[in-house]
Chain A
């Protein structure tokens, strides 16, 4: 696998240096791996901190900015960050109104954020964690580590970020974040695996005519392997899985997300199929995103995330946002 890197050891720090150079609106602490908004915390505003393994760009660093996150802590590739980073981020964004931790449901992320929250509370900062777990591919969550956090993370960060920007108190920001998570479901499909730079070879092998259904965002194998069929059939399988778990009615926010190695032309083909599928169910897609928002290095494939909107959530979705990866209304 060819990669544009200087060395496997410096992938994350070299990329962070690039983020710092490209986005003066961000303050990047390369050594401690913390990205915050330039200009420090906003007094009286709830701070939003997220973080997770690297390799999912633009998540999370690309969502730091007005109307979304206050800080992001990138870990090593596909490895959760450490409590020290999260504590530093939490302290940096605390404007006196408490801090929300947006945590994707993976054992490592949950454990490290839990430790960071305890450390922050020892220093007198109120922290509320919200765990995102929207992936319907994990069916029997009683017998697993629970549903994974995937695409809904983008929705949670945008909508809770907008609410925080309007000076909502911590408990309300947390409530809206949980509501978005509860109203959202995702399903992912891989056409290829991906290669962790330090490992140097693909995490799993897929044949030329095979796809993996129900993947997460770390190149981990999914639930089932299936033959490659048309975009319509693959999308339909993904939507069936989502529809089995949430009513596909009313106003919906839909994201067709690329996993890093899929061209936009294919994502639009998938989006068209999603749109047709939902129209057939009598639902309306009133808001959408098509593009690479939560990736898995260079994996080919996509995920679909559906959120059942309310008027309030639509309003918060439409609110101004100004981050490297999501920007409108300002």
Chain B
């Protein structure tokens, strides 16, 4: 996977968050402050503009620029958290022109650890971590088992989906939904859902490029 692959991934994310903008915002209305889709669409729009202008010759540089643009443009909690995730992933990929699945798995683990360090959320707190952690762990496992790129990324997307759905019965312990206490139960966490969308975008781009 080269810089072009990662730029295609980010473009796919931008398209998906635009399509899912109202859905994400609606999820956020139930247990937050009704801006998640709006903010992510605005943020990834800015990322697209930044990538169009800058030279990003390596996978790492694509993700670093994505992260720093999200930090600069989004605000809220999702800006620093997603920004840190992409920056840490980019840093982990280094400055090589192409990366393999093992490097991608390492990057996802780095993203997870960056998010957890900044937001102090653990699995089960009803946050983006509930989708990101199982996705990262499934990808590492797939790499260890020697899975193909297509199988590994399919498993990644499924794990992220299952993780997002698993947030429905949870009571939020972090972020703005935590103020609702028990009333946060019964709603899917918008951050976990957007994380699952990002993982889906990764799989979809890989499938498309394999054709």
Contacts and interface: CB of A to CB of B under 8 A. Distances in A.
B29 A83 contact: no
A223 B181 contact: yes
Give the dominant DSSP class at B's interface.
helix
A143 B183 contact: no
A222 B180 CA distance: 6
A161 interface: no
A76 B80 contact: no
B73 to A, nearest CB: 6
25 contacts: A53-B76, A76-B38, A77-B35, A78-B34, A79-B35, A79-B74, A79-B76, A83-B72, A107-B119, A107-B174, A107-B176, A108-B76, A112-B79, A139-B181, A144-B179, A145-B178, A148-B179, A199-B29, A199-B34, A216-B179, A218-B176, A220-B32, A220-B179, A220-B180, A223-B180
B176 A82 contact: no
Contacts of A223: 179-181, 183
Interface in B171-194: 172-176, 178-181, 183
Interface in B158-179: 172-176, 178-179
A203 interface: yes
Interface residues of A, number: 37
Contacts, number: 109
Contacts of A82: 71-75, 79
Contact of A144 (B25, B31, B72, B178): B178
Nearest to A140: B181
Contacts of B39: 76, 79
A78 B78 CA distance: 13
**Closest 4 pairs (CB-CB, A-B):** A144-B178, A108-B77, A108-B76, A111-B80
